Amino acid sequence: MTDRNSHPAPEPHPQSEPSDAQIPLADLIRIRYQKACDLQARGINPYPYRYDRDHEIAALLADFDTLAERQTAVRIAGRVMLIRKMGKVFFADLRDQSDRIQIYLKIDTVGEDQFRLFDAVDLGDIVGCEGTLFVTRTGERTLNVRRFELLTKALHPLPDKRAGLTDVEMRYRRRYADLIANPEVRATFLKRTAIVQAIRDFFNRRGFLEVETPILQPIYGGASARPFKTHHHKLDEDMYLRIADELYLKRLIVGGFEKVWEYCKDFRNEGMDRLHNPEFSMVEAYWAYADYRDMARLVEELVRHVAFAVHGAYRFTYGEREIDVAPPFRWVSMVDSIREAAGLDLMALSYEQARAEAKKMHLPDEDLTNWGKCVEAIWEAKVEPTLVQPTFIADFPREISPLAKVHRENPRLAERFELFIAGQETANAFSELNDPVDQLRRFIEQGKALAAGDEEAQPLDDDFITALTYGMPPTAGLGLGVDRFVMLLTNQHTIREVLLFPQMKRELADGAVPVSRILARIIGADKETP
């Protein structure tokens, strides 16, 4: 049945203008630039300063029936994604951040000048529209435009509407075009924002104080990683981008804050793959008078809270598997998990024996520098890929946990756990080492490793030792990788899909000319362009 607000105009199937694929990019930009110049010659600014809209499109659609019934005049703005001209009528798709709507322009309604102006609109241009709502004969909710304004003339054509922006490298390099062309990409990053907000709500509601610690540090520490190095000219000192927030947050625990957390950017000068980017987001939290078991319970609550906030359920799909984050998560020691998977009791073996077992598995010899490293290497080979459902791997070797307390029942181990979901490390937590003498000895051990060529070993931080001598209460600490957590909750399998601007090697495709040079040539400034 046709709504009484339906419009009698014919309903086309919206489609784009003929493909520009065969037209050189330089020519397309030149054509659009000329249109902008022609508009200026007519006294029309193709880049006005502002526009007063009164609705986002999603809000408009949510209240569509009432607004249409009352014939309320509304003002919206967005990017033109589809255009079709039928004689003296235009149909177009308009999209803003929230949603899309069809718009309808008829020469009898907007007048000849406005209609001629819309004839200069290209796909990708941003326009503002004023009008009333109606439903077409085919049920399409539509804005009957009475007046429109060109808000931005886009000089670069949009990616092909059928193929979208499919070249992976180009998608990451030109994320702005990726967001325009691929609605599912926008959805991922909207979901990322919701995840971060849910994390923030979780900690703040539990009395954790959100703080900020230095990104540029005179001594790096808090993790085993190679840092980025720079030089502070005023101080004439080498400085480092932080690899972790841990040591500064612990200083705050010493200072009397009992629950602190930080949403932070960290930097590690290491390889890039589907799980690693040199710049990444972390959550670190420290809780006085708690231990790693207390922190495990908090992490369970956090994961469930965020999963439910995003999915409305404790079960969700990752790849071909269904992940269930309902409690309780499995808890198993690292050595016990190896015993289960490989029938190997590493607690009964010396370093030499453990190394021999690792070499039987053809594990890299350079990774087998102590008993703890051997345990870790064997575990990574035999256990890690099998951890699909949420699992706490606990009680790591002491040698690979220089900032964690020695296990209260076994001095070869440390009170540390990592949470694994879908085969990926999601969180890392300790009963934090607060004995300044023990911490100093571990820094000395790390210093020897650093001197021997281990670029990921941690240097001695004198001020942190000084802080511990003032007394830090028993404390549990947590590091949660936000990017991997977002990957999990958005069903993405490479970290670049959840980073707006991942690190990329700066290069152009073979034979490509930078757009800036094309534009400079068009405006006659190519000789001035570096």
Quote the domain boundaries for residue 265.
Answer: 181-329+389-498
Closest CA to 125 of 158, 172, 97: 158
Mean per-residue pLDDT for 402-411? 93
Give the domain-ending residue among 163, 191, 206.
Answer: 163
Q: Quote the pLDDT of residue 163.
A: 55
Q: Quote the pLDDT of residue 430.
A: 96
Q: Quote the pLDDT of residue 100.
A: 97
Q: 372 vs 446, which has greater pLDDT? A: 372
Regarding whether 432 and 283 lie in a shared domain, the answer is: yes
Mean pLDDT (the chain, rounded) = 92
Q: Quote the pLDDT of residue 514.
A: 86
Helices then strands, each counted (H, E), the chain? 17, 18
CATH of the domain at 444: 3.30.930.10
pLDDT confidence bin for 161, thresholds 50/70/90: low
Beta strands in 153-297 (DSSP E): 209-210, 216-217, 229-232, 237-241, 259-267, 279-288
Regarding whether 486 and 413 lie in a shared domain, the answer is: yes
Q: Quote the pLDDT of residue 2.
A: 39
Edge-to-edge order in the sheet of strand 330-333: 209-210, 259-267, 279-288, 475-481, 424-431, 416-421, 391-394, 330-333
Regarding whether 199 and 115 lie in a shared domain, the answer is: no
Q: Over pLDDT 70: what percentage of the chain?
A: 93
Q: Quote the pLDDT of residue 5.
A: 46
pLDDT confidence bin for 3, thresholds 50/70/90: very low
pLDDT confidence bin for 356, thresholds 50/70/90: very high
The answer to whether the CB of 261 falls within 8 A of the CB of 211 is yes
The answer as to whether 343 is a domain residue is: no
Q: Quote the pLDDT of residue 458.
A: 84
d(CA 504, CA 169) in angstroms, rounded, equals 9
Mean per-residue pLDDT for 317-338? 96
Q: Quote the pLDDT of residue 162.
A: 56
Regarding whether 187 and 85 lie in a shared domain, the answer is: no
10 Å Cβ neighbour count for 510? Answer: 5
The answer to whether the CB of 226 falls within 8 A of the CB of 268 is yes
Q: Quote the pLDDT of residue 165.
A: 64
Residues 6+ positions from 82 with CB-CB distance below 8 Å: 14, 15, 16, 91, 92, 93, 123, 161
Q: Find which of 159-168, 340-349, 518-527 is predicted with most confidence, using mean pLDDT.
A: 340-349
First to last CA, the chain: 63
Q: Quote the pLDDT of residue 529.
A: 58
Regarding whether 406 and 306 lie in a shared domain, the answer is: yes
Regarding whether 288 and 151 lie in a shared domain, the answer is: no
CATH of the domain at 129: 2.40.50.140
Q: Quote the pLDDT of residue 16.
A: 42
**pLDDT > 50? residue 256:** yes
DSSP conformation class of 160 = P
- Chain center to CA of 293: 29
Instruction: With H, G, I as helix, E, B as strand and everything else as coil, classify residue 250.
Output: helix
Q: Quote the pLDDT of residue 19.
A: 54
Half-sphere exposure of 423 (CA within 13 A, CB side): 12
The answer to whether the CB of 431 falls within 8 A of the CB of 291 is yes
Question: What per-residue string of b and e applies to 79-100 under the rule 16 or more CB within 10 Å gives b?
Answer: bbbbbeeeeebbbbbbbbebbb
d(CA 444, CA 245) in angstroms, rounded, equals 21
d(CA 65, CA 141) in angstroms, rounded, equals 10
Mean per-residue pLDDT for 218-224? 89
Instruction: With H, G, I as helix, E, B as strand and everything else as coil, classify residue 61.
Output: helix
What region, left, alpha or beta, does residue 139 occupy, with left being phi > 0 and alpha being psi -120 to 50 degrees? left
| Residue whose token pair is 């980073």 | 499
The answer as to whether 139 is a domain residue is: yes
Q: Quote the pLDDT of residue 478.
A: 98
The answer as to whether 8 is a domain residue is: no
The answer as to whether 344 is a domain residue is: no
**pLDDT > 70? residue 15:** no
Mean per-residue pLDDT for 30-39? 96
The answer as to whether 514 is a domain residue is: no
* pLDDT tens digits along 275-324: 999 999 999 999 999 999 999 999 999 999 999 999 999 999 999 999 99
**pLDDT > 70? residue 501:** yes
Instruction: With H, G, I as helix, E, B as strand and everything else as coil, classify residue 497.
Output: helix
**pLDDT > 60? residue 219:** yes
Regarding whether 80 and 140 lie in a shared domain, the answer is: yes
Regarding whether 223 and 141 lie in a shared domain, the answer is: no
The answer as to whether 412 is a domain residue is: yes
The answer as to whether 513 is a domain residue is: no
pLDDT confidence bin for 465, thresholds 50/70/90: very high
Q: Are strands 141-152 and 100-106 parallel, antiparallel or unpaired?
A: parallel
Total structural domains within the chain: 2
10 Å Cβ neighbour count for 168? Answer: 12
Closest CA to 262 of 208, 225, 309: 208
Mean per-residue pLDDT for 55-84? 97
Which of these ranges, 155-164, 293-302, 322-331, 450-459, has the smallest mean pLDDT?
155-164
Q: Quote the pLDDT of residue 286.
A: 98
Q: Are strands 259-267 and 209-210 parallel, antiparallel or unpaired?
A: parallel
Regarding whether 189 and 158 lie in a shared domain, the answer is: no
Regarding whether 417 and 322 lie in a shared domain, the answer is: yes
Residues 6+ positions from 281 with CB-CB distance below 8 Å: 263, 264, 265, 266, 481, 482, 483
d(CA 439, CA 302) in angstroms, rounded, equals 30
Regarding whether 257 and 112 lie in a shared domain, the answer is: no
Mean per-residue pLDDT for 469-496? 97
pLDDT confidence bin for 505, thresholds 50/70/90: confident
Q: Is the peptide bond before 436 cis (omega within 30 degrees of 0)?
A: no
Regarding whether 233 and 153 lie in a shared domain, the answer is: no
Which of these ranges, 33-47, 148-162, 164-178, has the smallest mean pLDDT?
164-178
The answer as to whether 525 is a domain residue is: no
Half-sphere exposure of 497 (CA within 13 A, CB side): 21
